Amino acid sequence: MGNIRASDLRRGAIGLVMGLILSTAAHAQQEVRIGLPVELSGRFVAFGAQIKRGVETAVEIWKHTRGDKVAGRDIVVIEHDTQSNNSTTVSVMNQLINSDKVDILIGPGGSDSGAAAVPSWKQAATHPVWIVPGVSTTVVEKQVGKDPYFFHTFPWTYQYHETIVAGLKQALGTGKKVAIIYSDGAYGRAHIEYARQYLKDGGFQIVDEELIREGAPDFLPTLLKVRSAHPEILYTLVQTNDAILLAKQIYSAKLNIPYLIGTFQATLPEFKNSLGAVQNCWTGVNSYIMNLHTKADQAEPKLFPAGDEWEAAWRTKYHKEPEYMEVGAYISTMLALLAVEHSNAVDRDHVATALAAQSYQTIMGNSRFGPSEIALHQAFGKVIDFQLQKQGDGYDNVIFYPPERAGGKLVACPAQ
């Protein structure tokens, strides 16, 4: 034993390392690895938690329906918390791509997180297929460009404002005075250009614009400036906790602006649960709202059942109503698994080709991908205008645009 040469030890160590690498590679070939870069803490935790639930539910339903494997491979979900922090998001993306060797990425949810995630993904020589059931900022769309491995299952910024303004124009006509409040983060700065464009093109008069700092403790000085402009419509481009605080302070300041316009914040349970009666008359947009009564897909009715059936099953499982990103993440995961099954492969070219070719009837409508203004693969870009209106003991999402889906009309906020 004492005569073993250093060169023999080195050869033995190299052999051991190579064996481990080959073993890991062989094991990975028997798996489809889905990576979740999601916000499980921090200011966008609502988005990340929804994506996590949606993915986990889809995998559970797949296994119950199809068995534990897809195309003969084990399904492995690897999640990492981005902490709603841009630097952490970069680290998480690098880990999922370079260390965890995921085949498919799903997430994140917030626009800031999405913008931070793109460079790490693009810089990887063979970056994996990436499906994003969140992130509205066109900063990401511009960064991604026409990359064939990027798939977006959430509306882009301009798709929000095209529909919001069309709904306002139908309900109120033109010429109304509008004040805009927008945040200084990726979300607000991406939305403001499109809000201006569509409002002006729609015949509305912008009388004030106010920039607010994300995470600021007080928006009342801004609201005093808005009051002096005497708008008939307040158009807000803010998210999460900022949106909650802003709504509370608008109410306490008694601005008495007839129409309070939001974007995605009005869909979140955190917004509704935190505001109580203050949520009344706020509007929002979404691609999915409860009780759209969609039909089941003919080819895959167990994976994509009728909307009423799917919603009932969700309520039974989670004792709550499904939220948009839960639905979007569920559908995105099912599409990914079906793409692996149909292509019988996990390499990005085969999976991307299968994703681009698929078409299913889902709870959010048809899943067919098509080009957006810049990117190659966009699904579920059409949104719905709704208003939170008092119904009995609670507040319901009353759709007022487009006309074919409307269940009511846009109403003015009651005077205080």
Instruction: Give pLDDT tens digits for 41-99.
Output: 998 998 999 999 999 999 999 999 999 999 999 999 999 999 999 999 999 999 999 99
Q: What CATH number has the domain bearing residue 146?
A: 3.40.50.2300
349: how many CB neighbours lie within 10 A of its CB?
Answer: 13
What's the CA gap between 100 and 81, in Å, rounded?
A: 14
What pLDDT was estimated at residue 284? 94
Q: For residues 155 and 252, what is the distance between their CA atoms, to the nearest angstrom?
A: 32
Confidence (pLDDT) at 268: 83
Q: What is the pLDDT of residues 383-403, one digit of tens each?
A: 999 999 998 888 999 999 999
Q: Residue 25's CB: how many other CB atoms inside 10 A?
A: 10
237 in Cβ contact with 263 (< 8 Å): yes
The pLDDT, as a whole number, for residue 10 is 56
**What is the pLDDT, as a whole number, of residue 185?**
85
Sign of torsion over alpha carbons 114, 115, 116, 117: positive
Counting as low any pLDDT under 70, the low residues of the chain are 1-29
Q: Residue 24's pLDDT is what?
A: 44
Same domain, 113 and 137: yes
- Which pLDDT value is given to residue 8? 56
| Cα–Cα distance, 53 to 59 (Å, whole number) | 10
Task: Calculate the alpha carbon distances from 19 to 26, 101, 145, 315 in Å.
Answer: 10, 18, 40, 48
Q: Report the pLDDT value the prediction gives residue 7, as an integer from 0 to 100.
A: 54
Strand 104-106 relative to strand 69-70, pairing? unpaired
- Do the domain assignments include residue 187? yes
Containing structural domain, residue 37: 30-155+291-366
- Residue 206 and residue 114 share a domain: no
Residues 146 and 240 in one domain: no
For residue 110, the SS3 value is coil
- Answer yes or no: do 251 and 387 share one domain: yes
pLDDT at 388: 96
**pLDDT for res 262:** 95
The pLDDT, as a whole number, for residue 209 is 97
Helix or strand holding residue 46 (H, E)? helix 45-66
Q: Are 161 and 191 in contact (CB under 8 A)?
A: yes
Question: pTM for the full model?
Answer: 0.83
**Token digits of residue 26:** 């062989």
Residue 146 belongs to a domain: yes
